[in-house]
Amino acid sequence: MPPETRTITAHYTSPTASHKFSIPVTAPGTNTSTAERTRYLGEFLTEKMEEDKAREAGSKNTKKEEEEREEENYGEEQAEDED
């Protein structure tokens, strides 16, 4: 039996915004062995960890650039933008 595609949905609500997240996932069939389910779960979690690492690397670069800019301008008066 081929894997079945399902959707995981989550709703986020805060005082200022709300968002609905949905991602399709391929679920193992209902007649799969424990070893097959374990392998599927391991692959799924590895994929999610890689996505998290890539996202963190992007935010670290941005944060590092911001810190470098702050250090470079330390003690300097910042000009304010006038609109």
Which residues in 4-32 are b (16+ Cβ under 10 Å) and which e? eeeeeeeeeeeeeeeeeeeeeeeebeeee
Annotated domain spans of the chain:
4-72
Residues 3 and 40: their CA atoms lie apart, in Å, by 10
Q: How far is CA 6 from CA 28, 38, 70, in A?
A: 10, 18, 46
pLDDT at 36: 84
Q: How confident is the model at residue 3 (pLDDT cuts 50, 70, 90)?
A: low
Q: Mind listing the pLDDT tens digit for each residue in 12-66?
A: 898 888 999 898 887 766 777 888 888 888 998 999 999 988 888 877 767 778 8
pLDDT at 66: 80
> What is this structure's pTM?
0.41
**Which tokens sit at 1?**
């039996």
